[in-house]
Amino acid sequence: KAGVTQTPRYLIKTRGQQVTLSCSPISGHRSVSWYQQTPGQGLQFLFEYFSETQRNKGNFPGRFSGRQFSNSRSEMNVSTLELGDSALYLCASSHGTGGPGGELFFGEGSRLTVL
Amino acid sequence: QQPVQSPQAVILREGEDAVINCSSSKALYSVHWYRQKHGEAPVFLMILLKGGEQKGHEKISASFNEKKQQSSLYLTASQLSYSGTYFCGTEKGSARQLTFGSGTQLTVLP
């Protein structure tokens, strides 16, 4: 069974640009969550999508957005990049049904550097 | 609110035991434990649910004190492969989102 695939793995952008990151969940998983990981703030929840609907949202500015497609693949977008957006962005998939407590399967992440 | 993990770092010799703690000031539905090795994705270890249910790997044990909103992860007879950063993540209710602690860096030496 293929794992969670994130692309691109590494990217470098400059301030003010925008970026789109992609995540393909494990086949059959309908929930995709996004997390930002930085040395200072640790792992922080961005948002979660289930069946193309945003189900939960973390405490991030509106520059961070996402969407999910009918095949459960998800993208997240960050507009008007700031230096502080440099981070590892992790995608995690799960079945998403049956209430909380489901195991998350993480991808290897997309490492974004903003110059 | 972020759960508090302790210790921040621990160094062990192979075969020794370790306990990692996670506490929250909020009422919890569940506690998750993940391990992340350098440059790799976090990997699921254990979920402890309110009411006592546990799901996870056989060789790892954990406890969840609902009254105190605390969880502990027990690593016994540690192996070199146990090295990594351990994160606890908490869920507060029906919201499907995890709030992670700052992590505990575990190093197992030969």
Q: What's the pLDDT band for A27 if we cut at 50, 70, 90? A: very high
The mean pLDDT of chain A is: 93
Q: What's the pLDDT band for B93 if we cut at 50, 70, 90? A: low
- Does B97 contact A at CB distance below 8 Å? yes
Q: Which of B90, B92, B73, B85 is nearest to B32 (CA)?
A: B90
Q: What's the pLDDT band for B60 if we cut at 50, 70, 90? A: confident
- Does B8 contact A at CB distance below 8 Å? no
Radius of gyration of chain A (CA): 13
How far out from the chain centre does Cα A39 lie? 17
Instruction: Return the pLDDT at B22.
Output: 95
Query: Is A113 strand, coil or helix?
Result: strand
Residue B94 has pLDDT above 60, yes or no: no
Q: Which of A49, A54, A21, A19 is nearest to A33 (CA)?
A: A49
Q: What's the pLDDT band for B95 if we cut at 50, 70, 90? A: low
Report d(CA B98, CA B10) in Å as an integer.
24
Provide mean pLDDT across the span B16-36.
90
- Other CB atoms within a 10 A radius of the CB of residue B20 amount to 22
φ and ψ of B62, to 5 deg: -155, 165
Partners of B94 on chain A (C-beta within 8 Å) are 99-100
Instruction: Return the pLDDT at B25.
Output: 85
Residue A65 has pLDDT above 70, yes or no: yes
Instruction: Return the pLDDT at B66.
Output: 83
Q: What's the pLDDT band for B30 if we cut at 50, 70, 90? A: confident
Q: What's the pLDDT band for B21 if we cut at 50, 70, 90? A: very high
Q: What is the pLDDT of residues A86-102, one digit of tens each?
A: 999 999 998 866 666 67
Q: What's the pLDDT band for A1 if we cut at 50, 70, 90? A: low
Partners of B49 on chain A (C-beta within 8 Å) are 101
Size of interface A-B (CB pairs under 8 A): 66
Instruction: Return the pLDDT at A66.
Output: 97
- Does B42 contact A at CB distance below 8 Å? yes
Q: Which of B93, B107, B88 is nearest to B4 (CA)?
A: B88
Strand partners, B87: B34
